[in-house]
Chain A
Amino acid sequence: MLKSKTFVKKTRSGGVLKIVREHYLRDDIWCGSEVCKECKDEAPVLQADACIESTLCVSPHYLIPDTNVVLHQIDILEDPLIKNVIILQTVLQEVRHRSATVYKRIKDVVHDKEKHFYTFTNEHHRYTFIEREPGESANDRNDRAIRVAAKWYSDHLVKETWGRPLKVVLLTNDRANKEMAEEHGLLVYKCDEYIKSLIGNPELVDRLALTSDDQNDITGSKLLFSEHLPLSRIQAGIKNGVLLQGTFHANRDNYLEGTVLIQQDEKDVTEVLLQGLQNINRAVNQDVVAVELFPKECWVAPLSVVLQDDGPNDEDAEEDEAQNKYLQILTSKSIVRKPTGQVVGIIKRNWRPFCGMLSPSQIKEATRHLFTPADRRIPRIRIETRQAATLVGQKIMVAIDGWPKSSRYPNGHFVRSLGTAGDKETETEVLLLEHDVPHQPFSQAVLSFLPKMPWNITEEDMKVRVDLRHLCVCSVDPPGCTDIDDALHSRELENGNIEVGVHIADVSHFIRPGNALDEEAAKRGTTVYLCGKRIDMVPELLSSNLCSLRSNVERLAFSCIWEMNHNAEVLNIRFTKSVINSKASLTYAEAQMRIDDTNINDDITKSLRCLNKLAKILKGQRTEKGALTLSSPEVRFHIDSETHDPIDLQTKELMETNSMVEEFMLLANISVAQKIYDEFSECAVLRKHPSPPPSSYDILFKAAKSRNLVILTDSAKALADSLNNATIESFPYFNTLLRILATRCMMQAVYFCSGMDSDFHHYGLASPIYTHFTSPIRRYADIIVHRLLAVAINADTTYPDLMDKHKQAALCNNLNYRHKMAQYAQRASVAFHTQLFFRNKGIINEEGFILFVRKNAIIILIPKFGLEGTVFFENKDKPSPDHSFDSEGPTLTVEKHTFHMFDKVKVTISLDASNIQHQRIRMALIEPVIPGVSVAVGESEPEAKKPKLDR
């Protein structure tokens, strides 16, 4: 069965290294076709009756795409119409090598039973393996391998199908390859010609990616960008230090500027500034690029201007003008110069399908249009479609195919339509897609792992759990909360101490490791709360019913029980799986009311009061240690029950009970973190919050200085204290503003695996160790922590992945990513609803504070709505008012009025719907009155202010 063949590979890594690997050729690799009787395949994938109706090839046939077709036309291959495709191993390997995302997608397609895709391991097949000939490039060899495999298939299938010939069609876009294949008597088509011939679905044509062959006619001959270096030269350049490798981050506010983050070693990250389209040189956000640094004299400082690529449709002179003007600014003196450079090559593209809208061409019947992505960091994309008329006003998804050096914009193709723009459903869909939030309904496979209803607590459950049903447990949550994952109790013990219990929903009881339900939850990572919508991490049956600790039902819980004295000193901790029966589900307000109302004296209230008392002590202790109290404006919408439109907006109020629940959750988390770390020093999932680098506090210093206050940032404690002291009598909101600013200086807290890191400190909470334990219904990290804790107290057994620190670390990375994305999605949802709200409200005048001062704009926070907006002092078409910026303050002086940070201003707020893609809240200054800049109170036509928008 085994045919051995040894071949020699040479690679260069430092010196010449001869690598010898074995390569076995087999004669038991089957063709995978139903018709074939020779092959002893047990479950053939390819159908005998392979019918894709095509005018080019009438008889049934199988498709063999080559590498480039798979790479570029993956959207086509994913279409349900395309079936019975043979993916050669050669192709799959090349795809894997070139693009991880496409590889993932093609693998998903192959796994889809309906699609009848078959992977043929041609490299190990006795008759289709070929050796690279002398002088033949690796690519040519692979092309030849593909042809040989296709040839083998067509010969093989002819043998088997006497009556109705089953053909094999090779799809390639390479002309030379096509010719050579034809010489061998193969049936070859170019991908686009084949797709166009399909009878089934003419719309597929739109999804065809533009390939290099077609690029020439779409753009002018003018070369806009310099050529990218070939990969070999990039690698050489990186090795000898001439070039640097990093990830490109486009600037959200300024399309002509971006930075490349270069990871030099473990911790050290340098930023390289890129300015101007030529220097960015076709890099798209998140691409891995090679940069060349300019000599030091050419270094510049980043401009804090806001510039958006709103240029008209066609290639334009105006564009150059804008850029020239921009570059003029660049040459002006800058104070802090940053390393500046240019992109010389792309190491890895990180393109994904982008959501956005079509900006239709002015010429009717044109098929080429520009597409404007919703993400401002992504350049506009040129696509070809015949459905422009129908697509206008819709949100669509587009994939980039390439960016030729002669083109101002990248070329792409239409993937699918998401729905009408502005529509709540569509917009939600868009923001979920844009933030990569998995939001499909749970699959049958996942649901099959749910417990069967009606579900009851069984005898076995009771045997291994402590019965705590007699305890007076209650839960305190925000109003309308259905996924209650924590409940509390307290009672006085006979010895005078107090027993406090935190009971967390025992989700890990229902979600067993490794099954589809667990995998789905791990993938989702967190429940995402949008305004008026919740994307669950686990199916609703669990999240809102079986796991939710509702009142007066028996529920399984994981309890953490402390014995404390009256000074809130922990004397004893106990973790146990339990059964509880919550006596009441309260809202924060209800709980607060019970505590405050001296007339109520039932068990629940007594317990709450006791908890509240302890919480205050705990909080005091924590603050003493240097825990920060930060602030960020949070808003709540009152949603109309019928239309689901927001009708009112209010900032969230914080009550004592909020902090009471929070205190005990923190205590539980810290206790659990310590316990699991003690038990599993290598693989405990913990959460850390690194202390921010001192430089990030600059803005906070300056802001405080402007009010003659000093903020100390030597330690968390110093910061907390100085924040507490930084109050101005006449300006009560000042402290909150400072705290908002301080929040922005902070680093992101992250999950990590204890075996992979040494710094565990949680800066914000001033705790040496921390984890998440208390919300397993909505966070996957908590489920893992539950499992670890369960093992630690011998209530459950381990499983392999739980003990594997690398797998844990990978899981943490995913969770961090999902959390970040969920936050962004949440913010985006709030922003969208704010817009909806103002759309209904019309124009409002409101007071606000300056949060940041930029070079040509000020950013204003409206505390009432928790809303931030920008007021520009500069625009293209109108002579801008005289303004000067001082970065020391920072202050901005416009027409003799100087804006400081935290200045109180009055603005008028309205919705700017002129650009349907980026509808935004527009703010215009009312007070202070600056002639030519501010607008009159109540003016409803502020068009003059922003003429560039109503094009």
Chain B
Amino acid sequence: MAGLELLSDQGYRLDGRKAPELRKVQARMSVFAQADGSAYLEQGNTKALAVVYGPHETRGSRSKSLHDRAVINCQYSMATFSTAERKRRPHGDRKSSEMSLHLKQTFEAAVLTQLYPRSQIDIYVKILQADGGNYSACVNAATLALVDAGIPMRDYVCACTAGFVEETPLADLCHVEESGGGTSLSLALLPRSGNIALLQMDARLHQDHLDTLIEAAMTACKGLSKVLDSVVRQHLKEVSVLTRD
């Protein structure tokens, strides 16, 4: 029998979670002073740092700026020490560029960019440790950073992965599950409205399963939004107490 048993008969996954359970999520906002907004987020062993600058005057070529809304510029990178084998280049490879593009699309759906014509918002995210669900950790961290920067958004953007093992959808895959078991779907959700900001899946999946998988990912995203919400509120409370007068 090759490979690992991703889901035991008793319904436990390799790390002891049940199928719909998320990993432990911890986050902090405002970790950097010099940036407009920043956040650090751990989703299990996946650790991401997000920094937001802007909105500010469009840098570089003027032609990029849009007359009716702000441009969102994302850069995704992975620390060289983030994976089991040391990475050569932290960013700029195909996978990172694709991820950057996905992040950009995700946040264009959520940020009220039309409030800032001709401006630019920079979102930089870095994966410090990769253990599956890099995209979702990035989205969640970047959401917190945007909130921290005071950039108006329709809603939080929460992202989570879901996989499909033995006819059971698993939420929030870790690296072993991602690499070991077929399909993995990433979903970014605006939890209050239930709108999907981004849905991405590379492997093949039969369409009969798609609904259950999306359903599972959405539930996971909603669970995540509760966690993010409490982080933001906690941060709000702390800071507003200080600036009370």
Contacts and interface: CB of A to CB of B under 8 A. Distances in A.
User: Do A and B interact directly, with beta carbons closer than 8 Å?
Assistant: yes
A103 B84 CA distance: 31
Interface string A77-104: 0000000000001000000100010010
B16 A23 contact: yes
A110 B9 contact: yes
A6 interface: yes
A124 B24 contact: no
Interface string B70-88: 0000000000000011000
A138 interface: no
Interface in A1-32: 2, 4, 6, 17-26
A26 B16 contact: yes
A21 B15 CA distance: 7
Interface residues of A, number: 30
B44 A799 contact: no
B14 interface: yes
Nearest to A6: B45
A799 B205 CA distance: 10
Interface string A22-53: 11111000000000000000000000000000
A124 B5 contact: no
Given A2-B24, A6-B45, A119 B204 contact: no
B209 A124 contact: no
A6 B174 CA distance: 13
A803 B1 contact: no
Given A800-B209, A803-B204, A107 B9 contact: yes
Contacts, number: 62
A859 B15 CA distance: 61
B32 interface: no
Contact of A799 (B14, B24, B208): B208
A551 interface: no
Contact of B9 (A21, A22, A119): A119
B131 A20 contact: yes
Given A18-B84, A800-B206, A804-B204, A121 B12 contact: yes
Interface in B155-205: 174, 176, 204-205
B8 to A, nearest CB: 7
A24 B1 contact: no
A804 B17 CA distance: 27
A96 B1 contact: yes
B10 interface: yes
Nearest to B174: A22
A21 B10 contact: no
A17 B16 CA distance: 23
Contact of A22 (B1, B45, B206): B45
A22 B84 contact: no
Nearest to A15: B85
Given A2-B24, A107-B9, A800-B209, A23 B15 contact: yes
Interface string B36-62: 000000001100000000000000000
Given A96-B1, A798-B206, A799-B206, A24 B9 contact: no
A483 interface: no
A123 B14 CA distance: 10
B108 interface: no
Contacts of A119: 8-10
Contacts of A799: 206, 208
A100 B206 contact: no
Contacts of A21: 14-15, 45, 174, 176
Q: Which among A4, A17, A24 has the highest number of chain B CB atoms within 10 Å?
A: A24
A124 B12 contact: yes
B23 interface: yes
Contacts of A20: 45, 131
A804 B45 CA distance: 31
A100 B15 contact: no
Interface of B is mostly: loop
Given A2-B24, A800-B206, A800-B209, A22 B15 contact: yes
Contact of B5 (A22, A23, A96, A111): A96
A24 B206 contact: no
B14 to A, nearest CB: 7
Given A2-B21, A96-B1, A19 B16 contact: no
B1 A103 contact: yes
A603 B14 CA distance: 67
A111 B5 CA distance: 17
Contacts of B10: 89, 119, 121
A109 B167 CA distance: 22
Interface string A108-119: 001100000001
A23 B24 CA distance: 11
Given A18-B84, A19-B84, A96-B1, A804 B8 contact: no
A20 to B, nearest CB: 6
A119 B11 CA distance: 11
A24 B204 contact: no
Nearest to B5: A96
Contacts of B84: 17-19
A804 B14 CA distance: 24
A22 B8 contact: no
B44 A22 contact: yes
A200 to B, nearest CB: 28
A19 B204 CA distance: 28
Interface in A114-173: 119, 121, 123-124
A935 B95 CA distance: 81
Nearest to B205: A800
A4 B26 CA distance: 12
Contacts of B208: 799-800
A271 B14 CA distance: 39
Nearest to B15: A22
A23 B208 CA distance: 32
Interface string A774-816: 0000000000000000000000001111011000000000000
Contacts of B174: 21-22
A21 B204 CA distance: 27
Contacts of A798: 206
B207 to A, nearest CB: 8
B72 to A, nearest CB: 32
A24 B17 contact: yes
Nearest to B14: A21
Interface in B1-36: 1, 5, 8-10, 12, 14-17, 21, 23-24
A4 B24 contact: yes
A798 B209 CA distance: 12
Contacts of B176: 21
Contact of B16 (A18, A24, A96, A804): A24
B23 A100 contact: no
Nearest to A4: B24
Contacts of A96: 1, 5
A388 to B, nearest CB: 37
Interface string A277-288: 000000000000
Contacts of A19: 84
B15 A24 contact: yes
Contacts of B21: 2
Nearest to A97: B1
A798 B210 CA distance: 14
Contacts of B1: 96, 100, 103
A145 to B, nearest CB: 14
Q: List the 6 closest A-B pairs by CB distance, nearest first.
A: A800-B206, A124-B16, A24-B16, A22-B15, A100-B1, A4-B24
23 contacts: A2-B17, A2-B24, A4-B24, A18-B84, A19-B84, A20-B45, A21-B15, A21-B176, A22-B15, A22-B23, A22-B45, A22-B174, A26-B16, A96-B1, A119-B9, A119-B10, A121-B16, A799-B206, A799-B208, A800-B205, A803-B204, A803-B206, A804-B204
Interface of B: 1, 5, 8-10, 12, 14-17, 21, 23-24, 44-45, 84-85, 131, 174, 176, 204-206, 208-209
Given A20-B45, A20-B131, 13 more contacts: A2-B24, A4-B24, A6-B45, A21-B174, A24-B15, A24-B17, A107-B9, A110-B9, A119-B8, A119-B10, A123-B16, A124-B12, A801-B206
